[in-house]
Amino acid sequence: MTTYVLRRLIMLPIVLIGVTLLIFALLQLLSPFSRLAMFVTDPNQLKQGPEQLQEMVEALGLDDPVWMQYGRWLNQVLHGDLGWSESGRQPVVTAILSRLPGTLELALFAVIPVIFGGIWLGKITAVHQNKPLDHVGRVVAIVGWSFPTFVLGLLALFVFYGILDWFPPGRLSIAAARIVNSDAFTSYTKLLTIDALLNGNWFVLGDALRHLIMPVITLAYLSWALIMRVMRSSMLESMRQDYVTTARAKGQTERIVINKHARRNALLPVTTIAGTMFAGLMSGVVITETVFNRPGLGRFAASAATQLDIPSVLGFALFNGILFVVMNLIVDLLYAYFDPRVRLE
Amino acid sequence: MRKSLLVLTILLVGVGMCAFGQVPYPGTLRIGAISEAVTLDPVNAYDTSSGQQLLQIYEGLLAYAPSSITEYVPWLATAVPSYDNGLVVAGEDDFGAYTLVTFPIREGVYFHNGNVLDPGDVEYTFERCLVVDPAGGPQWMAYNVFFGLDYNSLADVVDAFGQDGAKQKIQEAVEVSGNNVTFKLYGPFGLFYSSLMNDRTYWGYIVDKAYSITNGAWPQDFDIELGVDWKMGPEGAASPLYDIPNGTGPYMLNLWLPVEQVILEKFDGYWRGWDGDHVDFMITFNISEWSTRRTMFEAGDLDICYVPRQYMGQLIGTEGLRTVFGYAAAGNSGVMLINDVNPESQFIHSGQLDGKGVPPDFMNDIDVRKAFHYAFDAATYAEQIYLGEAVPSYSQLPIIFGDAVYQTYMYGFDLEKAEEHFRKAYDGQLWDLGFKLTLEYNIGNDMRRVSMEILEANIESLNPKFDLDVVGLEWASHLPAYQSRQMMVYRSGWGADYIHPYNFIQPYYHSQGNFMRVQGFGTPETDALIAQIGLATDVAELNRLCHEVQLWALEGAYTIPMVDPTGRTWERTWVQGRWFHSMGASSGNFKAYDVWKAVEGPGFILDNILFPGMASEEW
């Protein structure tokens, strides 16, 4: 197992360099003048005459040989410099990092019920195949899978906030925000729930959770349906395997047969989906963030894309690429844990 | 486990249903907006979102008298200079006739950091206005009054006097003597208070000299080598005072979370004191999604909310809401057509006349411009989107200016004529090849979005080879994008800096005006006419000049007129004491210091002197 992990870790930087090459290649599709936008903090600087712009291009080496530009760009990236975000009006790295906690918190809270709930329901419906529980579970999953996010989000907003006034949009109420922004509250992680716990502030914790519930349910319901369906199919497949029949023939209880023999093998395809789903949640929660007025990475990326803010889009793509690579590594390691054949190969 | 879940559920529901009493957060005014401040540095600010914040943070030397657009009251000055009180004196020198205007500066006024206001701060403020001339910024009005209407930028001053001469003129423009500050004006004195010195002209708000210099703003050093574009200080987000304001106003910045919210809090040391009813905080939330904003407003989590006109039917009759309407809006908007855009702009796609984009000078063809004009249905737009609370504009001079407006519609909605002009454009090549072009508006402004979609749909209906799309930019990106000529067709508008036709004619039609500077159709002949408008004292002559300039602009088809709406604003019924001055008659342009929250109170303060038709309704 150790050798396998080391081998995969050694591969990681090579894959990451591949990602940077791809991003850099995309960057090179733009003319040197367009790439100037990455280096100015005031668009008025771009209004100068062609001679001045050419001088800036030369000074920044934007017409140097590609390999030189790549080396310079990679050096900047390694030093945390991804250029200036026009849509965020701050450096791209700052813009991404400042919005990361909001999205990460949402994704973390959503992914836990998605994975565990989806696995559990997939298992239950498979075990009770073609029985009422299975039928109900499948219908609910199909509804969830086919429901547009914005419809569910808006419905949830109108019912649970507009009518019942239980779960408001945003990240915090004004009262909680005052506490969080005061000197008495220390932001260790920028994740409001975790920080509230670390500060021992139950009011902020309750308030943050209250603001998280509806977006989490909106996100989780849609993703959970997919996990449940995959788990159900995989579980059905496992339960038809010889080793499950053998376990039963050995006199194992049905509980052990299902949980130890069938479920563990059925988890393999779910692991793949769960890993990419988490990475997807980190980047693709635009609608949920918009409807529930939560500033996060999804809204930032969408805003940058519609505003043709190239440095921000590329910075986000790089961040997303790294995230997917890392998640893939985690998935591979989990695969090896669940299935010894993988690490032996 | 089940017990824990039950406790958690009860806790969450309990928190959710927790009642705050009848007025939630009585000390906090919560505003639902669709855009955020572009900058909190007064010298650069020239948009209503920035102005909404600056109006609370900073102050000017004078303020408009209530219900008047011609009279002023002293504010950070202790007197309103006039010929009668001897504080205004006329003179003449080699450069021409001038006016000396002396302001005695109020004592005992503190900035938010504890520094005391002194005349040196006033001198620094206005010298900084003149040396930091942001492109597309407000300081053209300062050059107008300090040097004359032919001067619209620092470059104009430098062209006239040379670099050293310009520095000398700027130093002479503002002088300190004891506790007084004297301004030397070569431009029209009549524009001085209205365009630079009052409580609605935030580009003339007084900044703290010591604080500004300490934080890296212009060091008041005239020996500095002048930089790019003759500017001595950085602009936009690069300005050192961009997000660290320090004014004398009743509220100071507590927190600015970009794209999310701006929190202002009460300044305990405010010179006017805190007797009476006030709010302690003002929070402006940036909520671009209407459904979310509406739900928060209805739930009582917003006190004042921007409501797009086409959605107001969703709120009519809602308990706890008040709407104020029927007041003249001193502003209008148009669809700007840009003559020569940045060749690198993504809005023009291929940048060629090849059916996959348009050339940068696409709008140089008058037939293209006229076709765009004929393709917009302003009457239906006014009726269906403004729900009848607007009339199609004749030109870019709002109808509130009466006889100064050239009151003949030159273009109406006519797709046959639009097709005729598209067929003539580029000697017929355009019709055969087609084109692709992106139209722009600022995100959150759904009325502007709809206008661009109308234009898109109508033009696309003429020829399947015409491919347009509409993109929205955040306000803070919209402004620099048009200033740097990224967009070829975009929707923007103008709110009055002061009530005079010149204040609309200049930005829309003068070659150095805010819009025409970018559009690139201005001419010296028209500029000369516009300068005469600023100086005209005879009403008939003023109207004639205004007509001539409007006719020139309409015949050239440079800007598609939209509609002249009346104003409408929305608030919760527990908001008390809010009022508008004519110069700031928009939902965000009020002073939070005047507002408090209570179940009972006077409600919105209607001004039927300035706005005879103003009325309110609440449920």
For residue B413, give the CATH number of its domain. 3.10.105.10
Q: Among partner residues A44, A161, A162, which is closest to B236 by beta-carbon distance?
A: A44
Residue B218 and residue B203 in one domain = yes
Give the residue from B197, B209, B192, B212 showing the smallest Cα distance to B40. Answer: B212
- The helix (run of H) or strand (run of E) holding residue B467 is strand B466-473
Give the lowest-confidence range in A313-327, B140-154, B198-212, B346-360. A313-327
**Residue predicted with more confidence, A87 or B505:** B505
Q: Which range, A145-149, B172-176, B346-350, is most confident?
A: B172-176
pLDDT of residue A294: 86
How sure is the predictor about A23, in pLDDT bands with cuts at 50, 70 and 90?
A: confident
**What is the structure's pLDDT at A283?**
67
**The domain containing residue B174 runs over which residues?**
48-238
Q: What is the pLDDT of residue B5?
A: 43
How far is residue A147's CA from residue A220's CA, in Å, rounded to a whole number? 12
Classify the C-alpha dihedral B264-B267-B272-B278 as positive or negative.
positive
- Cβ-proximal residues to A313 (8 Å cutoff; 6+ apart), any chain: A301, A304, A305
pTM reported for the whole predicted model: 0.79
For residue A45, pLDDT beyond 70: no
Find the angle CA(B481)-CA(B487)-CA(B490) to the nearest 5 degrees: 100
Distance CA B547, CA A219 (A): 58
Range list of β-strands (E), B127-194: 174-177, 180-185
CATH assignment of A93-344, among 1.10.8.50, 2.60.120.10, 1.10.3720.10, 1.20.1530.20: 1.10.3720.10
Give yes or no: residues B265 and B206 share one domain. no
- Same domain assignment for residues B321 and B346: no
A-chain residues near B473 (CB < 8 A): 306-307
Task: Report pLDDT for B152.
Answer: 84
Residue of A30, A42, A171, A173 to mutate, interface with B, max B Cβ within 10 Å: A42
For residue B452, what pLDDT band results from cuts at 50, 70 and 90? very high
In a mutagenesis test of the A interface, which of B43, B280, B295 is the best target, namely the one with the most A β-carbons within 10 Å? B295
The answer to the question of residue B9 being in a domain is no
**Nearest C-alpha of chain A: how many angstroms from B395?**
29
Residue B12 has pLDDT above 60, yes or no: no
**B202-B208-B212 Cα angle (round to 5):** 100
Cβ contacts of A214 on chain B, cutoff 8 Å: none
Q: In angstroms, rounded to a whole number, what is the distance separating the alpha carbons of residues B252 and B268?
A: 10
The answer to whether the beta carbons of residues A77 and A180 sit under 8 Å apart is no
Q: Which residues 279-298 in chain A show a CB within 8 A of chain B? A: 290-293, 295
| B352 vs B454: CA distance, rounded Å | 25
Asked, for residue B394, whether it belongs to a domain, the answer is: yes
Q: How many CB atoms lie within 10 A of CB A280?
A: 17
Complex ipTM: 0.73
Q: Does the pLDDT at position A310 exceed 80?
A: no
**B271 & B231 share domain:** no
**Predicted local distance difference test score (pLDDT) of residue B61:** 96
Long-range contacts of B147-154 (CB under 8 A, 24+ apart): B147/B186, B147/B187, B148/B96, B148/B186, B148/B187, B149/B187, B149/B188, B149/B530, B149/B531, B149/B534, B149/B535, B150/B531, B151/B187, B152/B510, B152/B512, B152/B513, B153/B512, B154/B130, B154/B230, B154/B231
Percent of chain B with pLDDT over 90: 55
Q: State yes or no: pLDDT of B7 exceeds 50.
A: no
Given this model, what pLDDT does residue B79 score?
Answer: 95
Residue B2: pLDDT band by 50, 70, 90 thresholds?
very low
Do the beta carbons of residue B454 and residue B381 sit within 8 Å?
yes
CA atoms within 13 A on the CB side of B254: 22
Classify the C-alpha dihedral B179-B184-B189-B192 as positive or negative.
negative
**Which ranges constitute the DSSP H helices of B321-464?**
366-374, 378-380, 415-424, 429-433, 446-460
Question: How confident is the model at residue A60, as a pLDDT?
Answer: 75
Q: Give residue A193's pLDDT.
A: 92
* Cβ contact, residue pair A292, B292, below 8 Å: yes
What is the rounded distance in angstroms from the CA atom of residue B136 to the CA atom of residue B153? 10
What one-character-per-residue DSSP string does B492-557 give?
EEEE-SSSSTHHHHHHHHSTTSTTHHHH----HHHHHHHHHHHH--SHHHHHHHHHHHHHHHHHHT
* Ordered strands of the B88-93 beta sheet: B88-93, B96-104, B180-185, B174-177
Tokens of B99: 């006016």
> pLDDT band for position A285 (50/70/90)?
confident
Q: What is the pLDDT of residues A213-227, one digit of tens each?
A: 999 888 888 778 888
Confidence of residue B479 (pLDDT cuts 50, 70, 90): low
Task: Say which of A43, A168, A291 has its CB closest to residue B480.
Answer: A43
Residues B161 and B196 grouped into a single domain: yes
pLDDT band at A284 (very low <50, low <70, confident <90, very high): low
Whether residues B381 and B264 share a domain: the answer is: no
Check residue B577 and give its pLDDT. Answer: 95
Between CA B2 and CA B10 the distance in angstroms is 12
Q: Which of A57-61, A294-298, B468-472 has the lowest mean pLDDT?
A: A57-61
Q: Is the pLDDT of residue B450 over 80?
A: yes
Q: Which A residues, 206 through 225, put their C-beta within 8 Å of a C-beta on chain B?
A: 206-207, 209-210, 213
> What pLDDT is stored for residue B477 in this prediction?
66
Lowest-confidence region among A1-15, A30-44, B359-373, B535-549: A30-44
Pair B59, B185 in one domain: yes
CA distance readout (Å), B275 to B269, B278, B279, B575: 12, 8, 11, 18
Does residue B143 sit within a domain? yes
Structural Rg of chain A based on CA atoms: 24
My answer on whether B125 and B144 are in the same domain is: yes
pLDDT the model gives residue B234: 55
Give residue A92's pLDDT: 87
Q: Which amino acid is at B523?
A: T
Can you say whether the dihedral through the CA atoms of A24, A26, A30, A31 is positive or negative? positive
How far is the C-alpha of B50 from the C-alpha of B147, rounded, in Å?
27
Q: Which residues of B touch A306 (CB under 8 A)?
A: 443, 471-473
**A119 and A224 Cβ atoms separated by less than 8 Å:** no
Strands B435-442 and B596-597: unpaired
pLDDT of amino acid B10: 41
Per-residue pLDDT of B343-392, as tens digits, reads 878 889 888 999 999 999 999 999 999 999 999 999 999 988 888 888 89
At B232, is the pLDDT very low, low, confident or very high (cuts 50, 70, 90)?
Answer: low
A267 pLDDT above the threshold of 50: yes
Closest-CA distance of chain B to residue A72, Å: 24
Residues in contact with B536: Cβ distance below 8 Å, sequence separation at least 6, in sequence order: B542, B545
Q: Please report whether residue B123 resides in a domain.
A: yes
Contact criterion met (CB below 8 Å) for B522 and B505: no
The whole-angstrom separation of Cα B175 and Cα B178 is 10
Chosen from B15, B40, B133 to mutate, greatest number of chain A CBs within 10 A: B15
In chain B, the number of structural domains is 3
Identity of residue B516: M
Q: Model confidence at A205, in pLDDT bands (50, 70, 90)?
A: very high
Closest chain A residue to B342, measured at CA = A47
| Residue-wise pLDDT tens digits, B176-228 | 999 999 999 998 888 899 888 888 889 899 999 999 999 988 888 877 755 44
User: What's chain B's average pLDDT?
Assistant: 87
CATH number of the domain encompassing residue B173: 3.90.76.10
Percent of chain B scoring above 70 in pLDDT:
92
Closest residue in chain A to residue B292, using alpha carbons only = A291
Please report, for residues A3, A16, B171, B201, B342, the alpha-carbon distance to residue A10 in angstroms, rounded to integers and kept in the order given.
10, 11, 66, 62, 46
Answer yes or no: do B59 and B164 share one domain: yes
With tokens 């029949």, the residue in question is: A245
A234: pLDDT strictly greater than 50: yes
CB contact under 8 A, B292 and A44: no
What's residue B385's pLDDT?
85
| Contact (CB<8Å) A47/B344 | no
Residue B506 included in any domain:
no
Average pLDDT over residues B541-549: 94
Integer Cα distance of A223 and A214 in angstroms: 14
The CA distances from residue A247 to A126, A239, A257, in Å, are: 18, 11, 6
Number of Cβ atoms within 10 Å of the Cβ of A2: 7
Question: Residue B464: is it exposed, middle or buried by C-beta count within 10 angstroms (0-12/13-18/19+)?
Answer: exposed
Q: What is the predicted pLDDT for the residue at A51?
A: 66
Interface of A with B in 86-115 (CB under 8 A): 86-90, 98
- State pLDDT tens for residues B89-105: 999 988 889 999 999 99
pLDDT at B302 over 70: yes
Residues B271 and B344 in one domain: no
Helix (H, G, I), strand (E, B) or coil at A288: helix
Question: Which residues does chain B have within 8 Å of residue A192's beta carbon, measured at their own beta carbons?
Answer: none
Can you tell me the mean pLDDT for A330-340?
78
d(CA B506, CA B531): 8
Q: Where, residue-wise, is CATH 1.10.3720.10 in chain A? A: 93-344
Same domain as B201, residue B69: yes
Q: Of A31, A47, A295, which is closest to B259 when you measure between CB atoms?
A: A295
Q: Contact, B95 vs B183, CB < 8 A?
A: no
CA dist A91 → A86, A312, B483 (Å): 8, 9, 21
Helix or strand holding residue A286 (H, E):
helix A286-291
Longest dimension (CA), chain B: 91
* Greatest mean pLDDT range, A17-21, B39-43, B580-584: B39-43
**Position B513 pLDDT exceeds 90:** no
What residue has token string 């019920």? A113
**Mean pLDDT within A118-142:** 84
Residues of B in contact with A88 (CB under 8 A): 258-259
- List of chain B residues whose C-beta atoms are within 8 Å of the C-beta of residue A168: 296, 299, 301
Minimal C-alpha gap between B156 and chain A (Å) = 17
| C-alpha–C-alpha distance, residues B488 and B486, integer Å | 7
CATH number at residue B302: 3.40.190.10
Pairing of strands B174-177, B96-104: unpaired
Please give the structure tokens belonging to residue B69.
């657009």
Tell me which residue in B30, B299, B471 faces A162 most closely, judged by beta carbons.
B299
Taking residues B392-398, report their average pLDDT. 92
Give the model's pLDDT for residue B558: 96
The DSSP result for B64-117, as a single string, is EPTT-SS-EEESSBSS---TTTT-EEEEEETTEEEEEEEEEBPSS-B-TTSPBP
Q: Taking residues A286-310, report their average pLDDT.
A: 81
Q: Which of B218, B238, B258 is the last residue of a domain?
A: B238
Candidate from B288, B346, B477 with C-beta closest to A87: B477
Query: Which residue, B362, B304, B287, B292, is CA-closest to B31?
Result: B304
**Are B473 and A33 an interchain contact pair (Cβ–Cβ within 8 Å)?**
no
Higher-confidence position of B78 and B154: B78
Contacts of A42 in chain B (CB under 8 A): 234-238, 480
Q: How far is A324 from chain B (nearest CA, A)?
A: 27
Mean pLDDT in residue range B143-160: 87
B3 pLDDT exceeds 50? no
Structure tokens that stand for A145 in this block: 């899978």
What is the pLDDT at residue A34?
66
Q: Which one has a higher pLDDT value, B265 or A133?
A: B265
What is the signed CA dihedral for B272, B273, B275, B278, rounded to 10 degrees? 90
What integer pLDDT is reported at residue A325 of this predicted model?
82
Residues B335 and B433 in one domain: yes
